A and B are shown apart, each in its own frame.
Chain A
Amino acid sequence: METKLKPDFLNEVASIPACDKINECIQCGVCSGSCTTAEHWEYPPRKIIAMIRAGMKDEVLNSSSIWYCVSCYLCTARCPRDIKPANIMHALEAIALKENYKPPTKTTTMYRSFARSIEQNGRIYEFGFMLEYFLKTNPFAALKMLPMAFSLLTHKRMPLLPKAVEGRHELNRMFRNIATGGYR
């Protein structure tokens, strides 16, 4: 599918502080060569950078690729030009959400459920977080998780009720101030 190129996309990404060296990429491919989840990516990380430069904003942000980044940072550790590809992937995720792109991935729902859990309790509440995620995506898939949930419960690794931290309102204020706003 041919969509319109957006030449400003490169500047948009390059103006994000952690992505400012994107212009210096030499397309050597060490990021994709190192990537631990590369087999799942439609476009490998190197190509994502090339596509940003080409202005292929819609293709990049409509693709599920960037959502497969698991933040192992091998790309960033090995990049010979210090581009920090992992940072770029996360910045792209934020742009995709802010601008209402709908990439074919459940990861966005997962991130939102995770964020809501933190917001409500100041810490992660596994039971509620997973419940919300499965309800919003595919409730039947939760069945597969039952043995693990049971095991966690019996080992007292997963409380059934949430426990909030003290001062979570201050924490939420901090989140609001950081104000990337991408997760809601």
Chain B
Amino acid sequence: MEPKIGVYVCHCGSNIAGIVDVEKVAEFAKTLPAVVVARDYKFMCSDPGQDLIKNDIREKGVNRVVVASCSPQMHEPTFRRAVQEAGLNPYYFEMANIREHCSWVTENPKEATEKAKALVSAAVRRVFYHQPLESKEMPVHPATMVVGGGIAGIQAALEIANSGHKVYLVEREPSIGGHMMQLDKTFPTLDCSACILTPKMSMVGAHPDIELLTYSEVDYVSGYVGNFRVKIRKKARYVDDTKCNGCGTCMTKCPVKVDSEFDERLSKRKAIYTPFAQAVPNVTVIDREHCTYFLKGKCRACEKFCERNAVDFQQEDQILDIEVGNIILTTGYQLFDPTPLKEYGYGRLDNVITSLEFERMVNSAGPTTGHILLKNGQEPKSIALIHCVGSRDEKYHTYCSRVCCMYAMKFAHLLKEHVHGAEVYEFYIDIRSFGKGYEEFYNRVQREGTVFFRGRPGEVTDVALTPEEKGKLIVQFEDTLVGKQRRLPVEMVVLCSGLEAHKDALDVAHTFNISIGKDHFFTEKHPKLDPVATMTDGIFIAGCCQGPKDIPDTVAQASAAAARVLALIDKGKVEIEADTAFIDEAKCSGCRVCNLLCPYSAITFIEKDKVSRVNEALCKGCGTCVAGCPSGAITHRHFTNEQINAELEGILV
């Protein structure tokens, strides 16, 4: 079949045509070898645009297509489909990127037009050598793994399991619940956080289709969309979860007291513990680092008093090997530690606390049973809430953390409710109350008498300049709406820290082979149109691991991720790209260099034949093996030497 090439130059409105002389480029394309038709059109991706291609294939016998338009990221599938619908193999198509690579980055129209011509010429010469390829279909394993048992993970797991599909929910901590479990009330409706979360937690614990793996971490992930293999490390709990009924006797008998992580170190827990009373699963765990038996070789009080013989000091980490079709990451956030902001005195001045410490304090199940207390046990009469600590700040995090304004105003409300006659001051830069019912909540807090000062405080100090400042914390700030520097003595300062990515987010990204932004939040496939997918097919993200967000947004994202997974499970199969590598076994010397180079473990050595072979389902078409093979035995389909040389020639001619 002699190649007959059709070239279509897209205006993309004025995106391309505003700089590039598209008519000239189309005229130029007509002069290129084997080109039988060249056109320019306003929007090639539109239906009439695609029809131009289809008609030329049917009527003019075009059998190779080049579209000069945008990046292949978005519309390569569109045009491949159009080509296929007209009866051609979809790989008889090539895209020249004259938008991102040309019109958007070139200012001079003449130079841009020349560059567009070169790119079109390269694509035309390349498409001449294209081969028909067939993409393959692989089955999708119906099980799903959800990593992270906060509200996002719980929501996603329940959505999927409720449709009758198996879910593995992996959580690093001894119980699911996440940060939401630590919170007292939720803005703007003031529902009790635990009251709306614990029913969902018990549903997870009791669900027949959810296998809950707490105190567990993902060690290794291999495979591809539809067919992942995962190694999960179930850390030794030293308590048999099949025997323990959570009676709590061991906790009362344990002599060791340790700062409670769940209570932000405001209370003590034991060395054998559950993080909080409503833990799911209600199974204790021994903290090896603090347990007297592990440190000194004796004690075993918990073992002695356990009526069900559940304590097992011999337990070891277990590695579980599971197969899943899709993975949802809901690994959450950590609170910004305000210690580096020396001017606010966290860790140096008493009664300067973080927002999570305040959440625990104001929670009736918390360390102070809901009383807001100073270090000396008194109730504070005046409280300053400082916004934007660690956020909107080039030295720490440049982003707005989204939730702090709202939780700070929730604190103001709770303070008015818990402390009679409390004077509450909010120090803000801008109030961001963007959600449904949020502005109304702001209004409500204003009505309740909270004083709003617009100004980021310069410092918090205990150095008094006047008698009334004595023994107080003094917030020094500019009331920017008045234009005067002021010093305001208060008894307690709450630093409303932002949310930041987990410190080990980078490791998680490496384990799951997904991309990560400069602030270490996971990167979504498309910020607007594909917000829960990642660049790795079959791996989805939801909740604060993608960026700071509040509970409603987190839950919506988790449900969205679950819907994406269910769609794949329902379809039952995935299409695997056809541009994989293959090895010419006659040329292969069996050196195995490629086996080690392949980042996807897709190449194995066949002992019997003394050659290496590519597993096409695993191959991602990265081309590493092709470049590495010392015998030149590996060819990358759709990126053959012939095609690449022709493309280079097209650019250079």
Contact = CB atoms under 8 A, between A and B. Distances in A.
Interface of A: 26-35, 38-39, 43-44, 46-47, 74, 78, 80-82
Interface string B535-565: 0000000000000000000000000000000
Contacts of B273: none
A33 B458 contact: yes
Nearest to A45: B478
| Most B Cβ at <10 Å: residue of A28, A44, A78, A81 | A28
A33 B455 contact: yes
Contact of B477 (A33, A39, A82): A33
Nearest to A82: B394
A40 to B, nearest CB: 10
A33 B454 contact: no
Interface residues of B, number: 22
Contact of A33 (B394, B395, B430, B476): B476
A74 B459 CA distance: 10
Interface in B376-432: 388, 392-395, 429-430
B496 to A, nearest CB: 14
28 contacts: A26-B429, A28-B388, A28-B392, A28-B429, A28-B456, A29-B477, A30-B455, A30-B456, A30-B457, A30-B478, A32-B455, A32-B458, A32-B478, A32-B480, A32-B485, A33-B456, A33-B459, A33-B478, A34-B343, A34-B458, A35-B485, A43-B483, A46-B483, A47-B480, A74-B458, A78-B458, A80-B393, A80-B456
Contacts of A27: 429, 480
Contacts of B395: 80, 82
Contacts of A46: 478, 480, 483
A39 B465 CA distance: 14
A27 B430 CA distance: 10
A29 B481 CA distance: 10
B484 interface: yes
B482 to A, nearest CB: 10
A78 B454 CA distance: 17
A29 B394 contact: no
Nearest to B477: A33
Given A29-B478, A33-B458, A81-B394, A38 B483 contact: no
Contacts of B394: 80-82
Interface in B460-481: 476-480
Contacts of A29: 429, 454-456, 477-480
Interface string B163-184: 0000000000000000000000
Nearest to A83: B394
Contacts of B343: 34, 78
Interface in B475-533: 476-480, 483-485
B87 to A, nearest CB: 56
Interface in B427-442: 429-430
